[in-house]
Chains A and B, each alone.
Chain A
Amino acid sequence: MEDRDSLGLRLEDGRVEQTSGGREVGAAVRLLSGEHTYYAYSDALDEAGMAAAADAVAAAVRAGDGGSAVIDLGPVRSDPGRHAVQVPPETVAIARKAQLVRAGNEAARAAGGEIVQAIVGYGDTRQKVLIANSLGDLVYDDRTRTRFTAQVVARRGDVIQTGHEAVGGSAGFELVDEATARVVATTAAEKALTMLDSRPAPVGAMPVVMANGFGGTLFHEACGHGLEADAIAKGASIYAGKLGEVVAAPIVSAYDDGSLPNGWGSQAFDDEGVPTQKTLVIEDGRLTGYLYDRLRAREAGATPTGNGRRQSFRHVPIPRMTTTYVAPGDATAADIIAATPRGFYAKSLAGGQVEPASGNFVFGVAEGYLIENGRITSPLRGATLVGNGIDILMRIDMIAADFDVKTGVCGKDGQGVPVGTGQATLRIAEMTVGGTG
Chain B
Amino acid sequence: MFDILDTVLEGARAKGAPDVEVFAERSSSRRIKVYRQEVEQLTAAQRRGLGVRVFSGGAVGHAYTSDLGDAALDAVVQRAIDHAAVSDSDEFAAVPEPAGEPADVHPFDVRLTRATDERRIELAMSVEAAALAADPRVKTVEDTMYADGDGEVFIASSAGVRGSYRANQCYAFAYVLAEEDGQVETGYSYTVGRALEELDPAACGREAAERACRLLGARKCPSMKAPVVLDPFVSAAFFGVLSSALAADAVQKGRSLFAGREGRQVAGEILELVDDGTLADGLDSAPFDGEGTPCRRTPLISGGVLQGFLYDTYTGRKAGRGSTGNGVRGSYSGLPGVHPTNLVVSGPATPLADIIDGMERGVLVTDAVGVHSGANPISGEFSVGISGFLIEGGKLTTPVREVTLAGDILSMLTSVRALGDDARWVPGGSILTPSVVIDGMAIGGT
| Chain A residues within 8 Å of B405, by CB | 434
A203-B404, A382-B406 known; A153 vs B254 contact (CB < 8 Å): yes
Contact indicator A43/B48 (Cβ below 8 Å): yes
Distance in angstroms between the alpha carbons of A236 and B40 in the assembled complex: 16
| Interface assignment of B60: CB less than 8 Å from any CB of chain A | yes
Contact indicator B49/A24 (Cβ below 8 Å): yes
**Given B51, B86, B378, which contacts A19 in the complex, CB threshold below 8 Å?**
B86
B-facing residues in A220-238 (Cβ within 8 Å): 234-236, 238
A162-B376, A364-B383, A432-B404 known; A204 vs B223 contact (CB < 8 Å): yes
Q: Looking across the interface, which residue of chain B has its beta carbon closest to that of A202?
A: B444
**Given A13, A43, A205, A236, which contacts B142 in the complex, CB threshold below 8 Å?**
A236
| Interface assignment of A60: CB less than 8 Å from any CB of chain B | yes
Contact indicator B402/A94 (Cβ below 8 Å): no
Among B53, B84, B380, B444, the most chain A Cβ lie within 10 Å of the Cβ of: B444
B-facing residues in A143-184 (Cβ within 8 Å): 153, 155, 159-162
Contact indicator B44/A39 (Cβ below 8 Å): yes
Contact indicator A382/B44 (Cβ below 8 Å): no
Contact indicator B376/A364 (Cβ below 8 Å): yes
Q: Looking across the interface, which residue of chain A has its beta carbon closest to that of B223?
A: A203
Q: Looking across the interface, which residue of chain A has its beta carbon closest to that of B383?
A: A384
| Chain A residues within 8 Å of B355, by CB | none
Contact indicator B402/A360 (Cβ below 8 Å): yes
| Interface assignment of B140: CB less than 8 Å from any CB of chain A | yes
**Given A95, A160, A353, A435, which contacts B369 in the complex, CB threshold below 8 Å?**
A353
Distance in angstroms between the alpha carbons of A235 and B179 in the assembled complex: 11
| Interface assignment of B47: CB less than 8 Å from any CB of chain A | yes
| Chain A residues within 8 Å of B183, by CB | 358
Contact indicator B61/A18 (Cβ below 8 Å): yes
| Chain B residues within 8 Å of A316, by CB | 41, 43
A-facing residues in B374-420 (Cβ within 8 Å): 374-376, 378-385, 401-408
| Chain B residues within 8 Å of A117, by CB | 253-255
Q: Mark A49-81, 1 if CB is under 8 A from B, else 0.
A: 100110011011000000000000000000000
Contact indicator B444/A432 (Cβ below 8 Å): yes
A153-B378, A314-B45 known; A36 vs B38 contact (CB < 8 Å): yes
| Chain A residues within 8 Å of B442, by CB | 203, 435-436
Distance in angstroms between the alpha carbons of A202 and B87 in the assembled complex: 45
Distance in angstroms between the alpha carbons of A160 and B404 in the assembled complex: 22
| Chain B residues within 8 Å of A280, by CB | none
| Interface assignment of A298: CB less than 8 Å from any CB of chain B | no
Distance in angstroms between the alpha carbons of A40 and B186 in the assembled complex: 31
Give chain B nearest CB distance to A21 CB in angstroms: 6
| Chain B residues within 8 Å of A97, by CB | 86
Contact indicator B402/A388 (Cβ below 8 Å): yes
Distance in angstroms between the alpha carbons of A38 and B376 in the assembled complex: 39
**Given B46, B85, B142, B380, which contacts A357 in the complex, CB threshold below 8 Å?**
B142
A358-B185, A384-B384 known; A23 vs B65 contact (CB < 8 Å): yes
Number of residues of chain B lying within 8 A (CB) of chain A: 79
A16-B87, A20-B335, A360-B401 known; A162 vs B373 contact (CB < 8 Å): no
Contact indicator A94/B83 (Cβ below 8 Å): yes
Number of residues of chain A lying within 8 A (CB) of chain B: 81
| Interface assignment of B211: CB less than 8 Å from any CB of chain A | no
| Interface assignment of B67: CB less than 8 Å from any CB of chain A | yes
Contact indicator A20/B62 (Cβ below 8 Å): yes
**Given B254, B255, B373, which contacts A351 in the complex, CB threshold below 8 Å?**
B373
Distance in angstroms between the alpha carbons of A60 and B177 in the assembled complex: 29
Distance in angstroms between the alpha carbons of A388 and B220 in the assembled complex: 12
| Chain A residues within 8 Å of B79, by CB | 21-22
| Chain A residues within 8 Å of B140, by CB | 234-236
| Chain B residues within 8 Å of A364, by CB | 370, 373-376, 383
Distance in angstroms between the alpha carbons of A155 and B88 in the assembled complex: 25
| Chain B residues within 8 Å of A49, by CB | 46
Contact indicator B254/A155 (Cβ below 8 Å): yes
Distance in angstroms between the alpha carbons of A357 and B35 in the assembled complex: 16
Q: Mark A328-369, 1 if CB is under 8 A from B, else 0.
A: 000000000000000000000011111101101111100000
| Interface assignment of A383: CB less than 8 Å from any CB of chain B | yes
B-facing residues in A1-29 (Cβ within 8 Å): 9, 12-26
| Chain A residues within 8 Å of B257, by CB | 160
| Interface assignment of B63: CB less than 8 Å from any CB of chain A | yes
Distance in angstroms between the alpha carbons of A362 and B380 in the assembled complex: 18
Give chain A nearest CB distance to B196 CB in angstroms: 18
Contact indicator B86/A36 (Cβ below 8 Å): no
| Interface assignment of A45: CB less than 8 Å from any CB of chain B | yes
**Given B62, B76, B253, B446, which contacts A12 in the complex, CB threshold below 8 Å?**
B253
Give chain A nearest CB distance to B446 CB in angstroms: 7
Contact indicator A44/B406 (Cβ below 8 Å): no
Among A16, A52, A95, the most chain B Cβ lie within 10 Å of the Cβ of: A16
Q: Looking across the interface, which residue of chain A has its beta carbon closest to that of B337?
A: A18
Contact indicator A19/B62 (Cβ below 8 Å): yes
Distance in angstroms between the alpha carbons of A212 and B38 in the assembled complex: 44
Give chain B nearest CB distance to A18 CB in angstroms: 4
| Chain B residues within 8 Å of A235, by CB | 139-140, 177
| Interface assignment of B269: CB less than 8 Å from any CB of chain A | no
Distance in angstroms between the alpha carbons of A316 and B45 in the assembled complex: 11
| Interface assignment of A41: CB less than 8 Å from any CB of chain B | yes
Q: Looking across the interface, which residue of chain B has its beta carbon closest to that of A411?
A: B372
Q: Looking across the interface, which residue of chain B has its beta carbon closest to that of A31?
A: B42
Distance in angstroms between the alpha carbons of A286 and B35 in the assembled complex: 31
| Chain A residues within 8 Å of B61, by CB | 18-20
Q: Looking across the interface, which residue of chain A has its beta carbon closest to that of B177?
A: A357
| Interface assignment of B164: CB less than 8 Å from any CB of chain A | no
| Chain B residues within 8 Å of A159, by CB | 379
Contact indicator B369/A355 (Cβ below 8 Å): yes
**Given B49, B335, B407, which contacts A43 in the complex, CB threshold below 8 Å?**
B49
Among A20, A95, A354, the most chain B Cβ lie within 10 Å of the Cβ of: A20
Contact indicator B383/A40 (Cβ below 8 Å): no
| Interface assignment of A381: CB less than 8 Å from any CB of chain B | yes
Give chain B nearest CB distance to A243 CB in angstroms: 19
Contact indicator A16/B43 (Cβ below 8 Å): no
| Interface assignment of B97: CB less than 8 Å from any CB of chain A | no
Contact indicator B253/A23 (Cβ below 8 Å): no
**Given A12, A17, A39, A314, which contacts B47 in the complex, CB threshold below 8 Å?**
A314
Give chain A nearest CB distance to B443 CB in angstroms: 8
Q: Looking across the interface, which residue of chain B has its beta carbon closest to that of A387?
A: B402
Distance in angstroms between the alpha carbons of A9 and B442 in the assembled complex: 40
17 interchain pairs, CB-CB under 8 A: A15-B88, A17-B87, A19-B86, A25-B67, A36-B40, A37-B41, A43-B46, A43-B49, A45-B67, A160-B380, A203-B406, A238-B184, A351-B373, A357-B177, A432-B220, A434-B404, A434-B405
Taking A15-B87, A15-B90, A18-B62 as known contacts, 14 extra A-B pairs with beta carbons closer than 8 A to each other, sorted by chain A number, are A16-B88, A18-B87, A35-B40, A37-B42, A43-B48, A43-B66, A56-B44, A60-B117, A353-B370, A361-B385, A364-B370, A388-B402, A432-B444, A436-B381
* Top 5 A-B residue pairs of the complex, sorted by shortest distance between their CB atoms: A434-B404, A351-B373, A22-B64, A362-B385, A362-B370
